[in-house]
A = this chain, B = another copy of it.
Amino acid sequence: MESELQVFQDYIRRRDLRRTRERERILQEVFEIHGHFDVDGLYLQLKQKGVKVSKASIYRALPLFIDCGLVREVEFSEGHWHYEHIYGHSHHNHLRCLGCGEIQEFENQFLNCLEEQLAREYGYYIQNHHLQVQGFCPACRQAAGLPAASNFLKKVDNEQ
């Protein structure tokens, strides 16, 4: 498989953009981060390593990484976007605790079938999906006195 750098360089060539140290250094850093990141964290991490890049450059580079499929927006929370690199990773979804904010990642092959089903049913060409499930992790669930199950059954009862 090509490296993320090659993917990016191909994209740059295709789009008639220019290769710059800054963009490639930002990309390298993004791929050194294990897990989610936000612009501020990325900026500080580069700063700590003595890399001089402005935030504006990060803001301008991220849409390019997203456009060529190397990065994606994970979620908007705390007033700003969180991202992750995706190249070479299998697609995963997020289970988020409303209590402590912990994020569990999970995979589910059904969602790929769902994509196919939607493609057939609506005639869409499906590109990707975002699934975020929210609830309470075991610790927060107990602290809040909630039962172990989801509120699925309750919901069905209430439905109209």
Q: Which residues of A are interface residues toward B (Cβ below 8 A)? A: 1, 76, 88, 90-91, 95, 97-98, 104, 106, 108, 110, 112, 114-116, 118-119, 121-138, 141, 144, 146-152, 155-156, 158-160
Chain A contact residues: helix, strand, loop or mixed: mixed
A130 touching B132 in the complex, CB below 8 Å, given contacts A115-B152, A122-B104, A152-B112 = yes
- A114:B110 contact, CB within 8 angstroms: yes
CB of A125 within 8 A of CB of B112, answer no
**A118 and B95 contacting across the interface, CB-CB below 8 Å:** yes
Q: Could you say which of A128, A144, A160 has the most chain B C-beta atoms within 10 Å of its C-beta?
A: A128
Contact of A131 among B131, B135, B136, B144 (CB under 8 A): B131
Identify 11 residue pairs between A and B in the complex whose beta-carbon atoms are under 8 Å apart, listed by A's number.
A90-B159, A95-B124, A112-B156, A116-B149, A123-B137, A123-B138, A124-B150, A125-B144, A125-B149, A126-B152, A127-B151
